[in-house]
Structure 1
Amino acid sequence: MATTTAEETAAEQVHEKAEQALGFVPNLITEITDENPAVADAYLTSQALVEEDGVLSAAEQQAVILAVSSYNDCHYCTKAHAVAGQQAGLDAETVETINEGGLPSDDRLKSLVRATRRILGKRGWLSDVDEAEFADLGLERPELYEIVALAGIKTISNYVNHIADTEVDEPFQT
């Protein structure tokens, strides 16, 4: 793809944003930015908004992200978020359990992972019974909508990684 000065500037800004947020520019961000800086910026910006202003804790968000990434069978994101999940407070056993398709032992995380998988499996078409079940578990629409947002954001990276077969960065190889 031939780049213009404006595209190069946009790419530099995206790389700076990634560097500030993550401490380095992951291969995923380089891949997206090289092809379409606007998509990379949208991905990073939306992720930052939900991380900063969402109703779920960082550990809860990571549990949801792991559930989405394992559901979508993304080799890159399951490894990246295994590290991010532990940094956010998830223990290694919980991370492994979610990545293997199981449910964590913690009741709140179990509810979030179960809700995430049901939302994905039903493509968002939750019944009144589903919503009532999740409400009984403490998951109301604010939490469900955040799960939907995280699923959308992670689907961008999951699918890009499928298309590009992105090499997993050294910091994520544990």
Structure 2
Amino acid sequence: MTQPDISRFPVPAITDLPDDIRSRLLAVQEKSGFIPNVFLTLAFRPEEFRAFFAYHDALMEKDSGLSKAEREMIVVATSSANQCQYCVIAHGAILRIRAKNPLIADQIAANYRKADITPRQRAMLDFAMKVSQEAQLVSDADFAALAALGFSDDDIWDIAAISAFFGLSNRLANVSAMRPNDEFYLMGRLPKA
């Protein structure tokens, strides 16, 4: 069986990449056992790769009022609305692992309003979806509703920025026909042996 194409754009050989990007890909491979196709696809444009992952890491890896699982919930919900197969599958896997819940990603991708999440998380996703789909309608009332649930201004910024950033990511993934790695489909579904 041949390896399916992972992108409409050329995928550079790892050996041809700049040292910093090659090192990052190999570190990811060592940690996860494979290189997610997003890394390989975006390596086509090294400067943009660096900018993309710098902003990704700034949003997704910091400590704040949102847990890492909640950040992934935002990605899965908005990526589902944007019909981004790659991000729903890849970040769904990360969400299952970070939430330690094998059901949550599928629930959120199908309909977050019916998912087994807290009312606070539902409000977070309502706002993220508004930013994703109707940002021009965001109002002071949205901020007041989130503040009443304990979200700080920094948290609200994070929700909006994650939603907006993954709007960019979703569009690049869709245009490039980025294929999710097969490994993502089973991750976090069963307890580790």
| Alignment TM class, shorter chain as reference | 0.7 to 0.9
Please give the secondary structure, in 2, of the residue aligned with 1:92. Answer: coil
The equivalent residue for 2:108 is 98
Letter in 2 for 1:128: D
1:10-37 deviation per Cα after TM superposition (whole angstroms, max 9, x unaligned): 542442454466553211110110x201
Deviates more, 1:154-163 or 1:101-110: 101-110
Q: Offset at 1:78?
A: 0.4
TM-score by length of 1: 0.83
Q: What residue ranges of structure 1 are gaps of 5+ in the alignment?
A: none
Q: 1:47 aligns with which of 42, 56, 61?
A: 56
1:78 matched to 2:88? The reply is yes
Aligned residues: 171
Runs of 4+ in 1 over 4 A off after TM superposition: 20-23
User: 1:31, 1:147 → 2: CA distance?
Assistant: 26
> Measured at CA, do residues 90 and 71 of structure 1 come closer, stay the same or move farther in structure 2, by a change above 3 Å?
farther
Letter in 1 for 2:121: L
Preserved CA contact (<8 Å) 2:89 2:184: yes
What pairs up with 1:25-40 in 2 under 5 angstroms? 25-33=35-43, 35-40=44-49
Q: 1:57 aligns with which of 67, 72, 89?
A: 67
When you count helix as a share of all residues, which structure comes out higher?
A: 1
1:113 matched to 2:125? The reply is yes
User: 1:42, 1:59 → 2: CA distance?
Assistant: 23
Q: What residue ranges of structure 2 are gaps of 5+ in the alignment?
A: 1-9, 187-193
Q: 2:99 aligns with which of 89, 106, 126?
A: 89
User: 2:54, 2:28 → 1: CA distance?
Assistant: 10
Preserved CA contact (<8 Å) 1:10 1:37: no
> Measured at CA, do residues 81 and 123 of structure 1 come closer, stay the same or move farther in structure 2, by a change above 3 Å?
same
The equivalent residue for 1:138 is 150
What is the root-mean-square deviation of aligned Cα atoms in Å? 2.6
Please give the secondary structure, in 2, of the residue aligned with 1:101. Answer: helix
Identity level (%)? 20
Letter in 1 for 2:77: A
Q: Offset at 1:50?
A: 2.4
Q: Offset at 1:160?
A: 1.7
Q: Offset at 1:73?
A: 0.9
